[in-house]
Structure 1
Amino acid sequence: MALAQPDSTAPASTGGGIFTRKRVATGALLAMVGLGLGELSDWRAHHALLINASQSLPDWAFLVERGRFPSRGDFVVFAPGYDPLVRRHFGARPPAFVKIAYGVPGDRVDRAGHEVRVNGRTVARLKPRTRQGEVLVPGPLGTVPKGCVFTASPHKDGFDSRYAAIGFVCRDRLIGSAEAIL
């Protein structure tokens, strides 16, 4: 009795069954992409990119860390509120503002003439009117309340906490702290 010879025309076995190298590599790649997208989604939930269109600060692009309460000197991003002056100049849905946190809870805000001071240091000057002639009401004085900051910018036409239309920026309007990136 002769032994059966293998059929030389049958395809050779690749030896991997359903777990071929190509399938494993594809699966690993898809898993890495999925994890990467998950991390990106988590990052986006806590961060944002803000483009500053005003001239109140020299920087124009900021990386925002949402929900982080600013320290003195940090850039702070906030919703300006809906004061009639804000609405006239920035629309019914004003964009986020970015300014500098000059005063933090417990700091003292006062005025000497047109100079606005925080803890005795001049941080801004008041103007009596906008460039369009609208009256600018001076902002709050006294101790910066818990959960709030006093914002300002070095620009002479800055529109910030020095005026009542903005006032102290408290947690309900605070978006987060930011770093200038450009």
Structure 2
Amino acid sequence: MLERLYRHFCRRAPVYLWVLVCLVALSRYYMVSINVSDSLPGVIYLIEKGTLPEKGELVAFRYAGGGPYERGSLFLKRVVGVNGSVVSAVEQDEGFKDYYVDGQFVGRAKPYSKVGLPLPPGPVGVIPKGRYYVAAPNPDSLDSRYAWVGWVTDEQIVGRAIRIF
């Protein structure tokens, strides 16, 4: 069996080498991410490295740390607020807050996570240059509604994300 496998690789070595070269060359500009949370629909995303997103686009960014995730974890969210957008929060019952970006409802912040961790509320006001408000449609999404994510900086952004599957 090992001999058959060896012969297979020997016969097809040029093909495997070209595939490897292409993967290495493209990895400078693109990467593939697998979404393991329920925050966004879809499982596989192509990330265009170094491309800053525009409002309405998906973005891949590195988590700044704190809370339930490790610093540097890759997050995928939708950009709903950019430089100059106005973020506001309206207090609701029992510590809940409704967040709005430019007057559009973007989500309700809860006072506690599903596992009981306190969730500090995210920033409000005018989004400064080089910052983004990111969100996802899932009510349990950890996004800009919470201080642990807050406004995402240009430095945190890996690139624009495109849903593949």
TM-score by length of 2: 0.81
Question: Which of 72, 87, 100 is the matching residue for 1:109?
Answer: 87
Offset of residue 101 of structure 1: 0.5
Deviation at 1:110, TM superposition (A): 0.6
Aligned pair count reads 145
How far apart in 1 are the matches of 2:147 and 2:73?
A: 18
Alignment-derived partner of residue 50 in structure 2 = 67
* 1:152 matched to 2:130: no
Deviations 1:12-52 (A, max 9, x none): xxxxxxxxxxxxxxxxxx7xx77x86654332101100001
Runs of 4+ in 1 over 6 A off after TM superposition: none
Distance in 2 of aligned mates of 1:49 and 1:143: 33
Identity of aligned residues (%): 34
For 1:46 and 1:154, the matched residues in 2 are separated by 28
Residue 137 in structure 1 maps to residue 120 in structure 2? yes
Listed one character per residue, the Cα deviations across residues 70-122 of structure 1 (whole Å, up to 9, x for unaligned) are: 11111110111122x1xxx224x552000110111111111122211000000
Higher strand share: 2
User: Could you tell me the TM-score, scaled by structure 1's length?
Assistant: 0.74
Q: Return the alpha-carbon distance in structure 1 between the equivalents of residues 107 and 42 of structure 2.
A: 18
Q: Does the alignment pair 1:99 with 2:77?
A: yes
Unpaired segments of 5 or more residues in structure 2? Answer: 1-13, 92-96
**For the residues of structure 2 that align with 1:169 and 1:95, how far apart are their CA atoms?**
13
Question: Matched residues in 2 for 1:133 and 1:90: separation?
Answer: 15
Shift of 1:55: 0.5
Output the CA distance in 1 between the equivalents of 2:69 and 2:123.
22
Tell me the distance in 2 between the aligned counterparts of 1:42 and 1:145: 35
- SS of alignment partner, residue 42 of structure 1: helix
Any unmatched runs of 5+ in structure 1?
1-29
Paired position in structure 2 for 1:49: 32
Aligned counterparts of 1:53 and 1:121: Cα–Cα separation in 2: 28
